[in-house]
Structure 1
Amino acid sequence: MMEKRKAYEEKLDAQLKEWNAEIDLLKAKVENVNADLKVEYATKIEALQHKRDIARAKLHELKAAGDEAWEDLKTGAEKAWSEVKTAFHDAAAKFK
């Protein structure tokens, strides 16, 4: 159980790092668009950052949880992760 938990948490850590890198790339793309699009893109980036922050908070809860609470928290974390993945997918499509 402990190794499975650690592997799961490491996977989520890696995903957070990937999302941080993607947000940085999106911010760089915003620099090269017109003013109207900058506002729209900045709003989308802020929404992504907010969702990422929620996912990060869920990960911290998971890491701090005891074994009994961990399984329950994992379900909430997976829901948050799914929402962030969807948001990133949608944003990436709009930024192309």
Structure 2
Amino acid sequence: MAWFLVEITYVQEKMPEVRPRHREFLAKLAEEGRVAVAGPLGDGSGGLTLYQADDEAHLLETIDKDPYALEGVIAERTVREFQPVIGAWLPS
């Protein structure tokens, strides 16, 4: 499994209506252990999510099913593989 940091920028006028479905989508992935942490940026322009996936293709297949992606809320998205080495969330 690999870690990926995904940053999105919102289409502001669409986001409020879709946000509840987006959060349900992420909550389900968190229950499955595939989302470590997710949330909006402090300035409200977008959000960050730390995902775990088999590989980048698997991640993209997953995040393309996010209501934000399906309903046009994402103005811009970046995906970067992340290699955590220190932290309380990491297994010993």
TM-score of Structure 1 vs Structure 2, range by shorter chain: 0.3 to 0.5
Report the structure, 1 or 2, having the larger helix content: 1
Task: Select the structure of larger CA radius of gyration.
Answer: 1
Question: 1 or 2 for the larger relative contact order (CA 8 Å, sep ≥6)?
Answer: 2
> What is the TM-score of this pair, normalised by structure 2?
0.33
TM-score normalised to structure 1 length? 0.32
Whichever structure has more strand as a proportion of its residues is: 2
